[in-house]
Chains A and B, each alone.
Chain A
Amino acid sequence: GAVVSQHPSWVICKSGTSVKIECRSLDFQATTMFWYRQFPKQSLMLMATSNEGSKATYEQGVEKDKFLINHASLTLSTLTVTSAHPEDSSFYICSARGDRELGQPQHFGDGTRLSIL
């Protein structure tokens, strides 16, 4: 149980294009979803937290207009990197949690490797 699917797993695109990454909880309802960025050999850096039906809460230093997050249902959140540039190249990982109060763990997707040429 607690499976999170992330798609695509790998994307290469030209500078200036927008890229959408999907994160789905397959066997549970995710009241809260998280988006992380991970640089090589470093730990996860939280970008934003989203609750279903609400606007996302972004971490300090993360551009809201650059990284658009939508959490329209209890099983789907999307991250859109708008007008992507080479410095946006990274490994993006989503996670989902089924309950806000009981201290349940976050379950992670397998990540999306984004390369901007």
Chain B
Amino acid sequence: EDQVTQSPEALRLQEGESSSLNCSYTVSGLRGLFWYRQDPGKGPEFLFTLYSAGEEKEKERLKATLTKKESFLHITAPKPEDSATYLCAVRSFGNEKLTFGTGTRLTIIP
């Protein structure tokens, strides 16, 4: 059974203070690892897909990396508008479904 664990559960940073969010996963065979951002009262917004260990993707202040056991979402010099819950999910081969972690609630303080 696929499993995803995200840490920390919540993170408060000062504006400009860089940090990383962790997503540890267990799958039989990784089809893809996905990062989403969810604002309160909204559906998740797709950020990145990573397919194999060593892969990296960047978008503005966000950078996602992948190893065989975990993924990191690095946030560089964050701004208040980066405040949201960040969700990690995995899909294994032969499986239609995504398995989600419980998310990291990120708050950036001006």
Contacts and interface: CB of A to CB of B under 8 A. Distances in A.
A6 B45 CA distance: 14
A3 B98 CA distance: 19
B45 A103 contact: no
B87 interface: yes
Contact of A49 (B43, B87, B96): B96
B48 to A, nearest CB: 9
A100 interface: yes
What bracket does the count of chain B residues touching chain A fall in? 20 to 34
Nearest to B100: A43
Interface stretch (A11-19, A65-73, A81-89, A105-113): A105-113
Interface of A: 2, 4, 6, 32, 34, 42-44, 46, 49, 57, 91, 93, 95, 100, 103-111, 113
A103 B43 contact: no
Contact of A93 (B43, B98, B102): B43
Interface of B: 31-32, 34, 36, 41-46, 49, 51, 87, 91, 96-98, 100-103
Grouping DSSP codes into helix (H, G, I), strand (E, B) and loop, the A interface class, with mixed when no group exceeds half, is: strand
Contacts of B32: 103, 105
A3 to B, nearest CB: 11
A95 B107 CA distance: 26
